[in-house]
Chain A
Amino acid sequence: MQHTATEGYHAGAVHHEQGFLKTYVFSQDHKTIGLQYMMTALLFLFFGFTLMLLMRWQLAYPGKAIPGEAFALTPGVLGLAALLIGVVSKRKLAALVGVVFLGIAALVWYLVSDETLFPEGVMVPELYNSFGAMHGTIMVFLGVVPLAVGAFGNYVVPLQVGAPDMAFPKLNMASYWSYFFGGVVMLSSFFLPGGAANSGWTSYPPLANIATVGQTVWLFGMVLLITSSLLGSVNFIVTIVQLRANGLTFMRLPFFVWAQFVTSFLLLLAFPPLEAAGILQLMDRLAGTSFFLPSGLVISGQQLGVSGGGSPLLWQHLFWFLAHPEVYVLILPAMGIVAEVIANNTRKPLWGYKSIVYATIFLGFMSFIVWAHHMFMTGMGTVISTFFQTTTMIISIPSVIILTALVISLYGGSIRFTVPMLFALAFLPMFGIGGLTGLPLGLAPTDIHLHDTYYVIGHFHYVVAPGTIFALFAGLYYWYPKVTGRMMSERLGRIHFWGSFVCMNGIFFPMLIQGLAGVSRRLYDGGAQYSHAQGVLQWNEVMSISAFALAVFQVPFLINFFWSIKKGKKVESDNPWDATTLEWQTPTPPPHGNFTSLPEVFRGPYEYSMPGSSRDFTPQNVR
């Protein structure tokens, strides 16, 4: 590139001391916003997990009173500890998290001790459904996406492209607060009469149309979350296209940036149809229209007095038009993180960088035209089902290419088994299981047996939990020293990793077994009544115990996370992992404006162990 990208910069605008509100709350600095996203998303992940733990009790021991004290006390004690530590040693973050944990404990206690929700300590089916819907919603829209895109994307992308900030800092702030309020709205629905939304995260009408008021609030919450994502995605695309440092061509972008780039397009173009669907469902619920209600409905013996004529399947089309691309939104940033960590810890370039990039673009494109593989059982004829089966099989190819390239990248490396690397490595086979189990689901005849069974639950949890969540953990451990200037403890990290690895498989592998046996998902009693489920029922307890153990293994992580902020081993340089990408070529932590001098890029993202180089890594900005 001949022209200079620097002409737009105005050198050294003065950095003012700003007040607390401006610095921590209404900050427009992408790094602060990234951290806000991170903390909020982690807390939501924790909350979504807590909901699932309550459900897992019911699944393993249907009809047995829940030890509510234990469920409320655990986050309570953790929260109190964090609060005390925070107050005593003046750590604002720990204190804040302590307060939120106490809040979660209070909410759990509020729910568990409510006689109408837990008569004699056993949750009622409505509550189970509501927890299930909220677990899905929270995990996807309030946990993983904000963490993967909002947090890592925000913090890392501008650094990796050598930009002083995101292209639109104010929009960035608006995006975070829109997300935050979306989350608050969602949470508030737990206190409504009838509780939170209870029609699944998919909110299929007519069920969702006739559901309690929590569903309306869910829709409003979704509109806020969608707004947040749209603002964010515009910002990311513009940042990546416009603010790349001089010399940083598209084919020199770190793969993580590519992943975020494609992800942003998915969010940008797939979310609006869900927003449209949300508006229509809101109209149905509030204005009495019948977009999704056919004529002649009789609900509990009463004719529903609406004009009718609508189509329940319309919602499904619009929902999955978003929700399928959304699952790639869950996975692409994770793949991006894994690629960064693998290149760094094998000390060699990624194998087949270009094919990975092209595969990702292709994957993004295809993800818009596979959605109806979630709807094979709605009565599809041969033409339409053939179309969607074919596109579904096609879309698995780029995934195979990406995974293959990542696995082959290991070959010939000098592999350092650091904690981030462990998580990144585990991602590969775990995503492999999750992805491969997508194949029988993607073919309509086999989906007959597997649709809406625990096989589906197993399939996607393998991709999102030991897949994406692990990748996110890898990212946390990997970029932690950049943010704090200190390393996280290796020992605690290893406990966290191995414990989580075993437990994750303990939770999700049996789901595949149950699913093959034909056990339906979303069953309040885990299938206890069904005769075909009897042979695999014993797994319920195994899965639940694994889930509880998984929770226990997050404690070393929590300790590690907070302890290391002030007590972790100090990094010796700005680039503790000897990495090549630009985010490591800034001061630690990066100041407002990121770079002390404008970076210029001369080489590709992963020039590790280059022959003729004295060190085993050559940063991108080295001439």
Chain B
Amino acid sequence: MQEFLGLPLDASAHGPEIDNMIGVIHWLMFALFIGWGIFFVYTLVRFRHSRQAAADTVGVKGHTSSYLEVAVALFEVVLIVGFAVPLWAKRVNAFPDEKEALIVRVVAEQFAWNIHYPGADGQFGRTDINLVTSDNPVGLDRSEAYGKDDIVTINQLNLPVGKPVIIQLSSKDVIHSLGIPLLRVKQDAIPGQMIPVWFKPVETTDEIRKKLTRTYSLQGGHDPRLSTLVAMEDYVGKDSTVIAPKGSILFEEVLSQLVEAGYTEITAGPDTPMEIACSQLCGLGHYRMRGYVFILTPEKYEEWLKEEASYLAP
């Protein structure tokens, strides 16, 4: 129903509801626009001066237009009562149980996303702005028990699939906005406030990448988009060396080698299909304040957590 709108792929549980609503509204908009448009064009043709030498001042009689306006108003009531308010309430009130959910803190700064996981104990350590350094972007107190096992990453938000996530969002400096189009999530990060957002990812990054895999032609100059893609299978040269192994980024040189090797097309998928796009002007680096979201299977997620924990000094 809303496919024609070209919304990005949707990987969160609540996403379809939003997409549906966008679809419904756009259908209403089309109906109105086309309805009025037809009438509009008809009058222009029918009542042009060469066809209608003298105006008929009575014009339209009756109440059709009032009924129409009432209909629009009613539709808007339905939109508010039936869709907007309940959906919004679900977003901002119906938070999942904190015990069921994964809680992650995200601290925005010019121009990076600092991701703070509570670690194995499930408790966030104390943070203090006096402890903020370039190695300790969130000012975490590692000396304290809760803080010992916390994991902090930059621009990389790894999440398990199928589990509700609560992000506690804040900012160190100016206003940013955590926008993740593929999860239908957006929330301003406002300094001095900690605002929670929740969602539930339902697809892993690998699945999404597969869905977004396309075949791209290598002829007639390189598609600039290819530089953000990875090969989805091994591409082997004439001398059976692997030019582009599966999952490798398709840099300019790689593409040239592929063309030399006689390939005319390549199947590729996005390297990082799900990204955090900062959605609030935050300075000169706003355009590159990009984070990556990786949705992993629960097993892989645990593995990753263990790996990260192993880097922490004992």
Contact = CB atoms under 8 A, between A and B. Distances in A.
- Check whether chain A touches chain B (CB < 8 angstroms): yes
Interface of A: 124-126, 129, 198-200, 202, 204-207, 210, 294-301, 303, 308, 311-313, 346-349, 351-352, 377-382, 385-386, 389-390, 393, 396-397, 400-401, 403-405, 407-417, 425, 428-429, 432-433, 436-437, 439-440, 443-446, 448-453, 513, 516-518, 520, 522-525, 528-532, 534-537, 608-611, 616
Contacts of A204: 174-175, 280-281
A298 B54 contact: no
Interface residues of B, number: 99
B290 A390 contact: no
Interface string B209-246: 00000000000000011001000000000000000000
Contact of B187 (A129, A379, A382, A413): A379
Interface in B142-157: none
Contacts of A393: 76-77, 79-80
A303 to B, nearest CB: 6
A443 B286 contact: no
Contact of B84 (A445, A516, A518): A445
Contacts of B274: 531
B281 A382 contact: no
B304 interface: no
Nearest to A443: B84
Given A393-B79, A520-B277, A408 B7 contact: no
Nearest to B276: A530
Interface stretch (B85-93, B115-123, B250-258): B85-93
Main secondary structure of the interface of B (DSSP, over half): mixed
Interface of B: 5-8, 17-19, 21-22, 25-26, 28-29, 32-33, 36-37, 39-40, 43-44, 47-49, 52-60, 65, 68-69, 72-73, 76-77, 79-80, 83-85, 87-89, 91-93, 109-110, 129-130, 132-134, 139, 172-175, 177, 179, 181-182, 184-188, 190-193, 195, 224-225, 228, 270-275, 277-288, 290
Contacts of B29: 436-437, 439-440
- Which one of A386, A445, A452, A522 has the greatest number of beta carbons of chain B within 10 Å? A445
A301 B132 contact: yes
Contacts of B55: 346-348, 412-414, 608-609, 616
Contact of B17 (A298, A348, A445): A445
A401 B69 CA distance: 7
A294 B54 contact: no
- Which one of B139, B271, B283 has the greatest number of beta carbons of chain A within 10 Å? B283
Contacts of A404: 36, 65, 68-69
Contacts of B271: 531
A452 B280 contact: yes
Given A200-B281, A297-B173, A313 B190 contact: yes
- Which one of A312, A428, A517, A611 has the greatest number of beta carbons of chain B within 10 Å? A312
B60 A351 contact: yes
Contacts of B287: 125, 522-525, 529
A608 B57 CA distance: 8
B22 A411 contact: no
Contacts of A449: 7, 18-19, 22, 181, 184, 186
A265 B1 CA distance: 43
Given A299-B110, A449-B181, A530 B59 contact: no
Nearest to B272: A531
A529 B290 contact: yes
B39 A407 contact: yes
A519 to B, nearest CB: 8
A382 B76 contact: no
B71 to A, nearest CB: 10
A448 B192 contact: no
A608 B58 CA distance: 11
Contacts of A439: 25, 28-29, 76, 79
Given A207-B174, A417-B49, A452-B280, A294 B191 contact: yes
A411 B65 contact: no
Contact of A412 (B6, B58, B282): B58
| 7 closest Cβ pairs, A-B complex | A294-B192, A518-B181, A412-B56, A524-B287, A445-B87, A348-B55, A412-B59
B105 to A, nearest CB: 15
Contact of A529 (B60, B228, B281, B283): B228
B192 A311 contact: yes
Given A411-B43, A449-B22, A452-B279, 11 more contacts: A204-B281, A296-B192, A298-B139, A308-B192, A347-B54, A389-B80, A408-B60, A444-B84, A449-B18, A523-B286, A609-B56
Given A411-B47, A449-B181, A517-B8, A125 B285 contact: yes
- Which one of A202, A432, A531 has the greatest number of beta carbons of chain B within 10 Å? A531
